Amino acid sequence: MPLIGDPLLASLLYGASVTFDLKAATQTVAAIASVATATTVNTTQIVQEQKDDQMGMDSTMPRNLYLAFSGLLLLCMIISHPRFLARLFASLPTSSSQPKKKDQVIIYPYSKQSIESLRPKREVSGGDLSQGWFLRKGRNSRIEISSPISTPDTSSKKDPFNSAFAYDEKSLSSATLDSSSYSNPKYYPPPHIIPLLNHLPFSSTFQFVTPFSILPSHLKSHLTLPQLYLIVGYLILIAFALVWKSDLSPASKDKGYGSDWMRSGLVATAQIPLTIALGVRGNIIGLCVGKGYERLKVYHKIVGRVVFLASTIHGAAYMYKWTVAGKFSAYAAKPFAMWGLLAYFALVLIVVTSLPWVRKAWHGVFEVCHFVGIVGLLVGLALHVAVAIPFCVAAMIIYLISIFFSLTKTRIAHAELQALPGAGTTVITIPGLKTGWRAGQHVRIRVPALGLLKAFESHPFTIASAPDGEGLVLMCKRAGDWTNQLYELAQRSSDFEDRAEGGRNQATIIIEGPYGGLGNTLITSFSSVVLIAGGSGITQSLSLAEDLISKSPTGVVRANTIDLIWMVKNEDNVKPFLTNLLKLINQAKQLEIECLESLKKGENLIKFNNSISLRIKIFITRCPASSPLNLLSNYFDEEFKIEEEEEIFIKHKSIDELKKNNYLSKSDSTKNLKQKNFLPLSSISIKPIKPNFDILINSIIDENSIGLRKRKINSSSSSGILITCCGPFNLIENVRNTIKNVNHQKKLDCGGIEFEDEHFGF
């Protein structure tokens, strides 16, 4: 190359006529060298820019993910928003209210007109938005009736239509009358809002479809199509976040992209606050969409598995990369890698102890490992990389807020324990807590008297009593070590009679709640309610039925009928609950009779319009069909009996009632009432067979669409049927399939069918 610039060599090669410009040649060589250097610099700059672009894309992906999650949450809120507004509207206070002064009103002298004057203006109610947050002692809202010292004038002719529920002027001593005993209702039912999903094509079917319920038991899932759509949408977002502009091929010197395994770690880290937010009991997301934390557990599991999968990909890829490069030992000894391994092992601890068979066999171990694993995961991850600190801080704040609200919902109460040998059930009665929950909600309890190992295990139980009653009642079925020890604790009684009945004891318990329930679904807004229970699932049905019946006289309940269908294995499971069931039947029947007699007297039809019928059907599945059932006859005293042919609960009529019936039989209006079937419908029956839900549910739908609409005088159309089911998965799936197969036109005629389920062991 140096010879090219020599003039003598050029003259020899090309001749004397050829001249050589030394300056131009030097400039040409310099230009070529500068171009080569510039190309090298530009390549390095491009590679660095590619690396910066990849890092920028990775760092902004969590933000983009949360924007997408916010969109999903907003969509869910829009779907539930109309019902929340209806509930809010039915919960707002109005200018007319009950007399205050400790909810006690002294009426003196006694007169029916004075009670009528206390009735507030009728208004919409039943939202109960202020209920269901904190358990409280409560107080009974009653009206005290006092009478003058002198004997009242009773010379007037006695009304031949007077019933046991009319005001008896013979007994004018001081007494208390429940404020719900006004002769006319005080409220209107809340508005019935049809869910937005019901307006979609084929919504009456796809909401009840569970595609994965036909799989084997270890793969079976009872997710409905709307839930699956939401989960699929979430998984699509995660897949997009993992692969969008993420080059996983090995990096090289001529490109800035490659080996982008940090993306999977960032995606996993971004999901940790969401996982905790979906799993804690103080659930902010559940508050936004009107669902309890137990309804969001399935999403908590899905997101948790995504975190574990993405973390596994992230860790395994980096280990492989270091091993191939021969630098595994060097990198593994660095602090960031050690903290990352700690975070991953904490995550593995959470996942392993969350397996269904582990969680069921060692529930206490599951709870401890969950807490230890969360702390280890957040600490290890925050020290692993600095970019994870904001997510770890957010997750810790969510967790601490949940703990704070759980503490505000926690009460230490004195409880009475009673063991029921036939049913294998422990009844827990807490007379000190009377209100603060909504029917259908549950609480979590801890019993320190069970010993150190079991003392602080938290177990959920549905409240079996309605609010504003005599106290909070729980029924705990023997199903494991903890419930067995609770049952044995109840049997430790010093009283011989209590031990003979199974056992009765007292204990101090830690009760947390209430949680869950029907959310923004207003059960009082439906035209008919069907409560289906299996085994100990009767607790939810009892609470809902008692609450509806107690509220019915106020006018807040739209339902004409409550159908309670209960499946049990044997008669012994029924006996402990039969007294409460008969009490509810009697209460509903008395209300029906009172309303009917008001109608017979030609009074306002509004009161008759708010009567409610309770029909209980008990099916004993492991009893021979030929075996006689003596449950009802054994539990009635001589005043009551069962009509075997009609299978309804009726009361023996006294001589006065027979005279009244004779009087009514001569009345044309009474004859017309009988022709129109305006008779009490409350009944109870027990059958030694398995129920046919196709027949039962379709008959209720037909009745609601045609027959009972005539009784709803102020309603031109039905407001739908609500069916609730509490029990094992198989029962819930059977009921759901029955609803799915109901004729579409029937669903339209009755105003639509909605289904709420609660399964065991959530």
pLDDT in tens, 36-81: 555 555 667 766 676 667 677 777 888 888 999 999 999 999 988 8
pLDDT for the residue 642: 39
DSSP H/E element including 263: helix 262-279
State the CB neighbour count (10 A cutoff) for residue 632.
21
The residues that bridge with 41 in the sheet, in sequence order, are none
Q: CB-side exposure of 326: number of CA atoms within 13 Å?
A: 0
Pairing of strands 504-515, 142-145: unpaired
Rounded distance, CA 518 to CA 314, Å? 40
pLDDT exceeds cutoff 90 at 352? yes
Domain positions in the chain are: 60-85+204-405, 409-517, 520-624+680-761
Contacting residues for 320 by C-beta, under 8 A, at least 6 apart: none
Number of H helices and E strands in the chain, helices first, is 24, 19
Rounded distance, CA 563 to CA 615, Å? 5
Q: CB-side exposure of 496: number of CA atoms within 13 Å?
A: 0
Q: Which two tokens stand for residue 493?
A: 């009684």
3-class DSSP state for residue 425?
A: strand
Contacting residues for 571 by C-beta, under 8 A, at least 6 apart: 620, 623, 629, 631
pLDDT for the residue 181: 44
- Report if pTM > 0.85: no
DSSP letter for each residue of 617-642? EEEETTS-TTS---HHHHH--TTEEE
Same fold, 409-517 and 520-624+680-761: no
pLDDT exceeds cutoff 80 at 487? yes
Domain 520-624+680-761 has CATH 1.20.1250.20: no
Contacting residues for 671 by C-beta, under 8 A, at least 6 apart: 665
Contacting residues for 228 by C-beta, under 8 A, at least 6 apart: 211
Give a three-class secondary structure readout of 487-503.
HHHHHCCCCHHHHHCCC
Residue type present at position 747: K
The total number of residues shown for the chain amounts to 762
How buried is residue 616: exposed, middle or buried, by Cβ count under 10 Å (0-12/13-18/19+)? buried
Rounded distance, CA 104 to CA 144, Å? 6
pLDDT for the residue 184: 65
State the CB neighbour count (10 A cutoff) for residue 614.
29
pLDDT exceeds cutoff 70 at 180? no
DSSP H/E element including 477: strand 472-477
Residues 189-201 have pLDDT tens digits of 999 888 888 888 8
pLDDT exceeds cutoff 90 at 643? no
pLDDT for the residue 246: 77
Contacting residues for 48 by C-beta, under 8 A, at least 6 apart: 256
Bond before 93 cis per omega within 30 degrees:
no
pLDDT exceeds cutoff 60 at 292? yes
Bond before 514 cis per omega within 30 degrees:
yes
Residue 182 banded pLDDT, cuts 50, 70, 90:
very low
Contacting residues for 364 by C-beta, under 8 A, at least 6 apart: 453, 454, 457
Q: What is the CATH number of domain 409-517?
A: 2.40.30.10
Residue 247 banded pLDDT, cuts 50, 70, 90:
confident
CA dihedral over 310, 312, 318, 320, signed as positive or negative: negative
CA distances from 433 to 293, 393, 413 (A): 23, 37, 8
Q: Who has greater pLDDT, 269 or 713?
A: 269
pLDDT exceeds cutoff 70 at 481? yes
Rounded distance, CA 56 to CA 487, Å? 60
Contacting residues for 542 by C-beta, under 8 A, at least 6 apart: 464, 465, 577, 580, 581, 584
pLDDT for the residue 324: 85
Residue appearing with tokens 């207003």 = 522
Residue 659 banded pLDDT, cuts 50, 70, 90:
very low
pLDDT exceeds cutoff 80 at 543? yes
pLDDT for the residue 151: 35
Nearest by Cα to 313 from 257, 238, 363, 380: 238
Rounded distance, CA 549 to CA 538, Å? 16
Max Cα separation, the chain? 157
Q: Kindly state the average pLDDT of the residues 110-114.
A: 48
Of 17-26, 303-312, 388-397, 610-619, the poorest mean pLDDT is in: 17-26
